[in-house]
Amino acid sequence: MPWRALTLQVEAGAVEAMSEALLEAGAQSVSIDRPDAPRPTLCALVDLQHDPTALLRTAAGNIGLAATPGFTTTEVADEDWVRKTQAQFTPTEIGERLWVGPSWHEPPGGRVAVRLDPGLAFGTGTHPTTRLMLLFLERQIKGGERVLDYGCGSGILAIAAAKLGAARVDGVDVDPQALATARANARANGIELLASLPEALPAAAYDIVVSNILAQPLILLAPLLAARIASGGQIALAGILEAQAAEVGAAYSAWLDVRTDAMLDGWALVAGRRR
């Protein structure tokens, strides 16, 4: 099936936020070319049924851009997109123990391997928000925890949690295609993952809840996510610009002791513990 590739340029300071906003607005995948340039190039893969102008207008508005960036479009066959992505996707070592890479690479000895081949759901370990989350999980999982990944995308966080020793891992996403990808990635890693739409998630409390989406959805989800944390349990929130961390933390402070846990390349991870 063909896809539409949207190509646009944004200022370097907005490239990561725009990448996240495009995914939130409905893009299936986003790649960044020439990330060190003053105006890096973004290429977003979208379904042909999407109105590209409306999608870009939504993404730009969500990150506060005054005008919608100019863009060009081309149709891209599945196999051409995968070939392009494979050439860009190299393994990544995270922290002291984790390794994230595609099936055609072998992990070094002593690393916990999370195997992800490039696909249509976001999450490969290279984005700062994903890296912040993986580092949090590496520090906090000791073995036997119940973990919920809300907005699981490719399933990378859920799979890493299980491989680090979590006893039960559930994932939630509003995109059925992301859920199918997360399930397939879990099977490829030998992991049991319950991945469902939000309304199908069974009633349960979790020792660790993680959610790597965007600041405004995280604020709106605060009562729902807080209710999923077991007494004494933890939450980690990402997809948050440093300037947004205080606002996101305040939304959860009624239930949790909240802190800005870490920052990387302009992004923050907000963490908290249920009182």
For the question of whether the overall pTM of this predicted structure is more than 0.75, the answer is no
Distance CA 163, CA 13 (A): 34
Please report the pLDDT score of residue 199 as a whole number.
95
* 63 DSSP assignment: T
Q: Is 15 helix (H, G, I), strand (E, B) or coil?
A: helix
* pLDDT at res. 47: 83
Domains and CATH numbers, the chain: 3-86 (3.30.70.120), 121-274 (3.40.50.150)
For position 44, what pLDDT does the model report? 85
**pLDDT value at position 67?**
87
* C-alpha to C-alpha distance for 256 and 261, rounded to whole angstroms: 14
What confidence score (pLDDT) does residue 206 get?
A: 98
Q: CA-to-CA distance for 23 and 215, rounded, in angstroms?
A: 14
**pLDDT digits (tens), the chain, 275 positions:** 577 889 999 988 888 788 888 888 888 778 777 766 788 888 888 888 889 999 999 999 888 888 889 999 988 765 555 555 555 567 889 999 999 988 878 899 999 999 987 654 445 566 788 899 999 999 999 999 999 999 998 899 999 999 999 999 999 998 888 898 899 999 999 999 999 999 999 999 999 999 998 899 999 999 999 999 999 999 999 999 999 999 999 999 999 999 999 999 889 999 999 99
Q: Return the SS3 of 122.
A: coil
Residue whose C-alpha is closest to residue 168's, from 196, 136, 143, 197:
143
Query: What pLDDT score does 87 carry?
Result: 54
Q: CA triplet 240, 20, 219: central angle to 5 degrees?
A: 40
| pLDDT recorded at residue 124 | 56
